[in-house]
Structure formats: structure tokens, C-alpha cells
Structure 1
Amino acid sequence: MVLVVNSGSSSIKFRLYKVVQGHLEIIAEGIAERIGLDGSLTIKANGIKDTWQHDFPNHLRAVETIIASLQNLQLINKPTDIEGIGFRVVHGTNKITKPIIIDQETKMIIKEAAKLAPLHNPGALIAIEAFEKVIPQATLVAQFDTAFHQTIPEVNFIYPVPYEWYQNHQVRKYGFHGISYQFITQKMAEITGKASHKLNLIVCHLGNGASVAAIKKGVSFDTTMGFTPLAGLMMGTRSGNIDPSILAYMGKELNLNLDEVTDLLNKKSGLLGLSQFSSDMRDIENEWKKGTKLPSLAYEKYVQIAADFIVTMANRIGEPIDALVFTAGIGENSPLIRQSIIMNLPLLNLVLDNNANHEKYQEWSKISAPTSKIPIYVVRTNEELMIAQETIKLMTSQNKKLNNLV
């Protein structure tokens, strides 16, 4: 069995997989929430979801409760049934370029990168150390959101600021959603039958957080998120790219410091800030259909920015493109957004099959008409499965090395 963990400062999301005849099957999934407060644990298994109230003073107690609950539900017989644990970690700086078995050096890199991802990396590290104590024999693997983007060439990741900012302070584009992009690249190679190292894709990861990436010859060539996930597209509550002088100006206007203004750009901007209504695209779409002014403005701005970045990424690739792919919550589930974005890309000569765009699908669907210059797909991303697969690969590799040593 393999457990996939996505931990924050006050929560631990998890999914338990079992290898059955060479395939990974989901046994259970859940979340421990409000760690440090009056917490709760929710586990869904066999079509049944249960929630229990628990006192979680820290991550260690939450991990102990998760494992004990999996035993009580007879989903595992004993903790040692879990042979591998894969952790999603947001930031690995430029030092980690692929999934890695966790050791002291890995933990130090995660800790050092906390200054670049203060909301995410500390929680991941605390969870890693908690699972180390509860299931010490398991192989622990970290997969980083930034790792997939370490193939981006310097001309694409560097900012036009004093170069010593990069040399001395690590200021550069890192990019995020890398685990999702890795999964989509792997899936598109399977769908198209084309070797991944020959694959050119533009992938739109449109969720509450959103980004677009240029995948050239199977690796990340550029992406819209930058030094932080605030950059790039307009998102649910994030502004995306704006004139940086606005921060100093609004700080003076509102009598706020730089951190407070940045917090507004992260949590009160994007769809929520412009619409003055909601950060949820489903709500925005409904108001757009009614013609409500500010939600309609937010909808149109979102579509415009996404379309502009798709053109930019097409230009970055500079070669024939095998597919434009929509994924993540909005990209997977909103035919209207997909249609609106395509309508804002006249220079790319894209043509949707309207029926295919609105049809239900399982894992993926081709939604372009035969006359479209670039094939268009919608593909369900699966970051947890990607982490589980990479964890098993590293476990297998580690076991081979041990056997060779023996």
C-alpha cells in the first residue's frame, strides 16, 4: 500500500492506494482538519464517508489518529501495511528536479525553501517528520510542485532585475502546479501515442489557482506562475500580473504595509475582487449569463488574460503544437469557459466541436473539430496518482539497489 499526503499548516489530506494486479486502486481518502484546534477527521471508503471530532494539538497526534482510524475501519491490518508514503511539497528551489527519497538533506532543502513558500513548506515538513515517527519503516518520497519546471531555460525564468538578486537571493521564476503538468504530459503521450520527448503542448491548469504552461519536447519550457503562485493569470482570489508600483501606491493610499497589500492581492483580488461577488467561477458564470455588471467584467477579464497567455506560450514553443489541453477544476468542468477562451484566440485558428465540448466524459475527451489547426483536449488531472506512481518507482529502485548490495 502507498499513502499520498498533502499537508498544510493546519490540515493533512491523504489518499490510500493499493497495488492490485499492477494497477493502483484507491482504498480510502480523507482529511484531518483544524490541527492545533478542535479538529476533525473525515475518511471516505467503500462509498461511505464518516467524520469524527478529535483533539489535534499537533500534526503527530493527527497522523497517529489517521493510522489508527484506518486500522479501526479495517482498511489496513497494521501500520506496516503502508510501505511507501508520497508527499506533495510545494517548493524545492532549483536544487530538486525530480521526485526524491526523503533523507536529512531533502528535509534541509524543504526547510530552507520555507522562506520562498512560508504557507506551504513548513506544514509539509512537520507532516513528514510525524509520519517518520509513526511508520518508521516506510519509504518516504517527496514530489515538488516546482521540480517539473526546472527545465525552463534561463532566458525564460530570469527576471529583468539586478542579476545579483538571482545570484544571492534566488529571485527567479519557479513555476508551480508541476505535478499536474507532469501527469498531463504523461497522459497526453498515452492518448496521442506520441513519445513524450517529442510532445509539444500548451496546458491550461484552471482551478482556484491557475496557470498555463508551455511543454516543449515533453518538458516544461515556460509557465505563467513565477517567483510565487501570485504571478500570471487572474485566479479565484489572486490578482495575477499587475504593475508592481500599485503595491507602494495602495500601501500609501490605504495606510498598509507591503505585506498587508500583498495579502490583499493573494486573498481579496482576482475573480472575488473584481466581481465583488464570489471567487467561484460557477457563481461568476451564472451572473455573467444574467448580465450582472461586475461579475461579467470579471468573467471577460479572466477569459481575456487566459487567451493572451495561451498565445504567448504558443509563441514560446515556436513549433507545431500537438494539443491545447484544459485541466483542473474550471478547465475540466466548464464548457463555457473553454468555449469563451477559444473564441478569444482567432489567430490560432482553433475550432471547437460544440457537442463534444458539452458531453460528459471520464478521464479525457477530444473537444476540437477536425478543422481545428491545433487539437483541443480536456483531461482530468490526478496529482495524487502521479505521486503514488513516482513513490512506487523510487521504492522499486531502492529495493533493487538493496538487493544488489546483498
Structure 2
Amino acid sequence: MILVVNAGSSSIKFKLYETNDKNSPLPIVEGLAERIGVDGALTIKIEDQKYEYNDRYDNHLMTVESILKHFKELNVIKNELDIEGIGFRIVHGGDKIVKPVELTDQNKQAVEDNIKLAPLHNPGALTAINAFQKGLPKAKLVGCFDTSFHQTMPAKNYLYSVPLKWYENHKVRKYGFHGISFDYITEKASQILNKNKNDLNLVICHLGNGASMCCVKNGESYDTTMGLTPLAGLMMGTRCGDIDPSIIEYMAKELNQDVYQLTNSLNKESGLLGVSKISSDMREVSKAAIENHDEKALVALEMYTQRIAEYILKFANQLEGKVDAIVFTAGIGENSFITRKLVIDKVHLLNLKLDNETNLREYDDYLEISTNESAIKIIKIRTDEELMICKETLKFL
């Protein structure tokens, strides 16, 4: 079995896979431990059954021990040796880690070294890694990094037009995120289109509460929208995306706030929530815009979709017009038909034709939603980052 872990400072999200068929690992259990260090809550789902526990978790190690104890009680595992590998989703690997790695002491040090680049995410991941290492000492630990897929970007795309010594001395550059999802979608699109991954050109729109896009050239990341942090690029649920950096100095004077307070506002009070004044949830914003004709919600929806459309054109230009498909994925990309329609309607320089009926249709895995007249295929694909991490972890066993 392979356990896939996505950990934060006070939570551990997990999914357990059975891997008798290495090509098609089977998810058998998923769950979430939260409020670690407060009072503790654990939910474990097995098929349609949900089990809830309120054990006390003072730290991640106690949480891991509790998860394993309940796995045994529920007959998920006979003993700890059943779990041969653990794959961790880790946000930031810096510019040295370019692919999934075994979490040796050296590679764990890289996670720690990059805490300054991902202060909200890497500490929780590192704590969880150490806890699982103690709880499952025989298991192989593998790290899959959201940044590693983007390490193929050329310098002209990852460097900022700031003093070069900022990059040389302080590692200021575009790193990009959502790399595990982009990697999965690239593999999946290769199968769907029956095209060699090394010849595949895609524009991928990963649209969730956090959102980014990737320009995939010959199966590798060539450019992406997020930057040094996940704050850059597209307008998101609560994040601003690209703005004039001078706004920070201006508002610091206007509000008498420091850069930390303003950055918090740009991360948590901006985007769809900030403009609409309604919600960070696209479902609520689009409902208010379309059904209630709310002016602020309509502006937020127009801004959100306009920026995606403009990046589609930018990335198509970088691919010299040789685009095999435009892919929509993640929560909004997979499920919001109105977002997809508004985005495609705003791409005027490419001959894109959306099949409105297919765009509305339910689907499990993927569905092509363009007409035969469309110059580029448009596909909605359900991403599966956990499965990607499971498969990468299997390679190390």
C-alpha cells in the first residue's frame, strides 16, 4: 500500500492506495485530521462509510499514531509494514529539486531551507514527514513538489526584470506552483490525444480557489502564471494576482499599514471576494452576477475570465500557435460551465468554438467540449494529484 499525505501546520489530509496493479492504484481510504495542537478531529472514509473520532492531538506524531491505530481497528491494515511507501505533497522545493525525490536527510534539509519561500506550507510538511518517519520507520518516504515541474522553464521566463543579484543572492525568481496537477494533466492529455508527451503542446488552466495556468511545450513547463509565491498571476478566490507593485507603497501610506498587513490583504481579502464583496466561491459569485444581476459580482466575473483569456493568448503565442489542446481543470475549471464559456468567448484571436451542450454535460474523467470547427481542441479533465503522487512514490519501491 501507498499512503499519500498533504499536510499543513494543523492538519493532515491523506489517501491510502492499494497497489496490486501498479498501473492502476486503487484508492481504498481517505481522510482528514485537523485542529492538531488544539483539540483534534479525525475523519476516515471507506467507500460510503464515514468514521469520525475526536482524539486529542497535541502534535503531528500523536496524529499519525492515531491514524494508524484506527486503520488497524477498521481492518484497513494488519500492521504498519503493509504501508510500504508514503508520498508527500510539498509546496516548495526551490530551484535545486527538479523531480520527486526520496526524503533523505539531505532532501529534508532542502524542504527546511525553502521555508523562507513557503512559510505557510513547508513547516507543516516537514513536521508531518518527521512524524511519519517515526510512526512508519520501514516505509519509503518520497517528496513530490509543486515547484519541480516548472524547473524546465527557460531563464527568459523565470527571471524577473529586477537587479540580477536579487536572484543570485536571494533566489528571487518565478517558481510556479500546482506542478503536480500540471504533470498529471500533461500525462493524461497525452493519452487522450494519443500523442507522444515529448511532442505535446498545451495551455492548462488549473482554476480553483487558488488558480494558475501553465504553458506546456514539448511535454514540459515552459511558462506559468504564479511566481515567487502563489500570489502572482491570475485573479483568484481571495488572492489579487498580478498588480502594480507600487500599490503596496501607496496603500501603506494611505492606511498607515506595514507590508505584512498589506500582503495579508492581498492574499486573503482580494480576488473574487475583494471585488464582488460577496464571496471567494465562484458558484456564489456567478449566481449573484447572472441570476441577481449584482453589478460588483458581474465585474468580478468579467475580470476573472478576462485574465484567463489573455494568458491563453500569451501562451498560445509562446507556442507559436502550435497548441494541441486548451485544458480546464481543478474545482472551477472542471465544474463551472459559465467560467469556461466566458473565458473562451473572450479569446478573439484564436478560432475557438465551444460546444455549449457538451460544456454543460456531466462527466467522470474527461470530456472534449469544443466543436469540430474549433482550431484547437478544448477539454475538461478532472485532475488527480494524489494519484500522481502515488505513482511517483511507487517508482521508488
> TM above 0.5, one fold?
yes
Structure 1 residue 46 displacement after superposition: 2.4
RMSD: 0.7
Q: Deviations over 1:210-232 (max 9, x none)?
A: 01110000000000000000000
Superposition map of 1:135-214 within 5 A: 135-214=136-215
For 1:293 and 1:247, locate their aligned partners in 2 and report how far apart those are by CA, in whole Å: 27
For 1:131 and 1:319, locate their aligned partners in 2 and report how far apart those are by CA, in whole Å: 47
Structure 1 residue 318 displacement after superposition: 1.5
Q: Deviations over 1:90-149 (max 9, x none)?
A: 000000000011101001000000000000000000000000001000000000000000
Superposition map of 1:126-141 within 5 A: 126-141=127-142
Structure 1 residue 252 displacement after superposition: 1.3
Superposition map of 1:4-23 within 5 A: 4-22=4-22, 23=24
1:326 alignment partner AA: F
2:364 alignment partner AA: Q
For 1:19 and 1:93, locate their aligned partners in 2 and report how far apart those are by CA, in whole Å: 31
Structure 1 residue 21 displacement after superposition: 3.3
Deviating above 2 A after TM superposition, structure 1's stretches of 4 or more consecutive aligned residues are: 20-23
2:343 alignment partner AA: I
Q: 1:339 aligns with which of 333, 338, 341?
A: 341
Superposition map of 1:19-58 within 5 A: 19-22=19-22, 23-58=24-59
Equivalence for 1:78: 79
Equivalence for 2:396: 394
List alignment gaps of at least 5 residues for structure 2: none
Q: 1:382 aligns with which of 373, 381, 384?
A: 384
Q: Deviations over 1:62-93 (max 9, x none)?
A: 11111111111111111110000000000000
TM-score (norm 1): 0.96
Task: Determine if contact 1:357/1:367 at 8 Å carries over to the other structure.
Answer: yes
The answer to whether residue 255 in structure 2 is matched with residue 245 in structure 1 is: no
Equivalence for 1:113: 114
SS of 1:282 mapped into structure 2 = helix
Task: Determine if contact 1:175/1:223 at 8 Å carries over to the other structure.
Answer: yes
2:55 alignment partner AA: H
SS of 2:327 mapped into structure 1 = strand
For 1:246 and 1:315, locate their aligned partners in 2 and report how far apart those are by CA, in whole Å: 29
SS of 1:361 mapped into structure 2 = coil
For 1:31 and 1:212, locate their aligned partners in 2 and report how far apart those are by CA, in whole Å: 28
1:127 alignment partner AA: A
1:82 alignment partner AA: I
Q: 1:355 aligns with which of 326, 351, 357?
A: 357
Q: Deviations over 1:384-405 (max 9, x none)?
A: 000000000121xxxxxxxxxx
Equivalence for 1:100: 101
Superposition map of 1:198-237 within 5 A: 198-237=199-238
SS of 1:96 mapped into structure 2 = coil
Equivalence for 1:299: 301
Task: Determine if contact 1:221/1:317 at 8 Å carries over to the other structure.
Answer: no
Structure 1 residue 20 displacement after superposition: 3.1
2:390 alignment partner AA: A
Structure 1 residue 351 displacement after superposition: 0.1
Task: Determine if contact 1:111/1:121 at 8 Å carries over to the other structure.
Answer: yes
Structure 1 residue 308 displacement after superposition: 0.8
Q: Deviations over 1:300-338 (max 9, x none)?
A: 110111111111111112241100000000000011110
For 1:234 and 1:328, locate their aligned partners in 2 and report how far apart those are by CA, in whole Å: 15
1:362 alignment partner AA: D
Equivalence for 1:399: none
Task: Determine if contact 1:186/1:196 at 8 Å carries over to the other structure.
Answer: yes
